Amino acid sequence: MTRYLNFSEDFMEKIKRGEKRATLRLGVKDYKVGEEVAIRCGDKIIGKAVIKSVNYKKFKELSQEDIILDGYKKKDELKSALEKFYGKFSEDNIFTQIIFELSEVH
């Protein structure tokens, strides 16, 4: 069974260009390094990716590198984007950071 990493359609071009190579999911998720996933933006599957790294971090622990991997320049931009999906959250909330590499683009 194929697992998906789902994204808003807004991220399609950033992912295809390699500007977004990570995603943060609220809570602890069970993705595994080496797992292949289908990348879905809105209702379109745009390709496949291999998971390179899975980390669990509180929002306040995110580094500038983490923010850039996620396709943002500033932490407050990332926070407001995440709040669109999850609503308000605390700096102490744990996120699963999934770093991926596209292996196939449709």
Domains and CATH numbers, the chain: 3-105 (3.10.400.10)
Strand 94-105 and strand 44-58: pairing?
A: antiparallel
Q: Quote the CA–CA distance of 9 and 30 in Å, as a whole number.
A: 24
pLDDT for 2 equals 84
pLDDT for 94 equals 98
pLDDT at 25 over 80: yes
Placement of tokens 């194929």 in the chain:
2
Mean of the per-residue pLDDT values for the chain? 97
Across-strand partners of 24?
A: 97
Placement of tokens 């995603």 in the chain:
23
> The whole model's pTM is what?
0.95
Tell me the pLDDT tens digit for each residue of 33-79.
999 999 999 999 999 999 999 999 999 999 999 999 999 999 999 99
pLDDT at 1 over 80: no
